[in-house]
Amino acid sequence: MTLLILGLLLAVTPGLSAQLKPETVKEFNAYMADAESQMQARASGAKPFLWSASDNARWNRLRTEGVLVAPTYESPSRDVQGGLVHDWTGAIFIPGAKAEQALRILQDVDNHKRIYAPDTVDSRMISRTGNEFRSSMRTYKKKVLAAILDYEFHTVYTQLAAGRWRGAIRSTRIVEVEDYGTPRERQKPEGQGMGYLWRLNSWWHVEERDGGVVMELRSISLTRDIPFGLSWAIKPMVTSLPRETLESNLGKTRTAVLALSDQGAPR
């Protein structure tokens, strides 16, 4: 949750809500179109498929540390009208694992509430046709105030070659939940609330190499902007949260794939 630090602000300024505006969506969509073009070039072979292996120092660090996360560009966020775009890329290397084991974990949506607990409190496959599916998820995070979000996603995984896969995940609906866990629990209208998260789109790149499997995740999210006069104090904390979330999710993915590999699953 990329704007949970706003809980600190909301605690002293009750009722400070945000609304997703058409101009914000337009600028985010333009950003995504550029990102789509870049990622398509990687899938087609016009650019290196793996971000982590496109630089020797980066690759050596990944092989040594197992997990690597960095802003996709020099700045981890970009201002748009009424919002902030956050763009991060991370990678994990799992020795001895295979791409099919990685895909099994990524596509096991009904079990994600356990793999990615405690932040993910519910996950469910809505429908599936082959490697294309629709799913839902609920997350819960608390920093001063609790942020509960319900999501729906459209996901497509494509095999590009033996041991190489690409996944495209797009949020189709994100709403905030109020009065969580009470008889009054309800979803707020889409695009209304505190603006913790309005869009969450990502790509998985999975490839077998060097006796293991590399799993990369590029995550682009859209949140509300920072109220005027408070950016200097809040923005550095806001932009660090996507990194923390990405690192946590990659670490839990690595643990799950390792466990599957250790069980001697078919390779």
In whole angstroms, how far apart are CA 131 and each of 6, 108, 146, 222?
37, 11, 34, 26
pLDDT digits (tens), the chain, 267 positions: 344 444 544 444 444 678 999 999 999 999 999 999 999 999 999 999 999 999 999 999 999 999 999 999 999 899 999 999 999 999 999 999 999 999 999 999 999 999 999 999 999 999 999 999 999 999 998 765 678 999 999 999 999 999 999 999 999 999 999 999 899 999 999 999 888 899 999 999 999 999 999 999 999 999 988 765 555 445 555 666 788 899 999 999 999 999 998 775 444
Over its C-alpha atoms, the chain yields an Rg (Å, rounded) of 19
- Residue 142 identity (one-letter amino acid): K
pTM: 0.90
CB 225, CB 6: distance < 8 Å: no
Q: How many Å apart are CA 66 and CA 72, to the nearest integer?
A: 18
The alpha carbon of 68 is separated from its chain's Cα centroid by a whole number of angstroms, namely 15
Q: How far apart are CA 155 and CA 150, in angstroms?
A: 16
Residue 119 to residue 241: CA distance in whole angstroms: 13
Q: Can you tell me the distance from the alpha carbon of 51 to that of 217, in angstroms, rounded to the nearest whole number?
A: 10
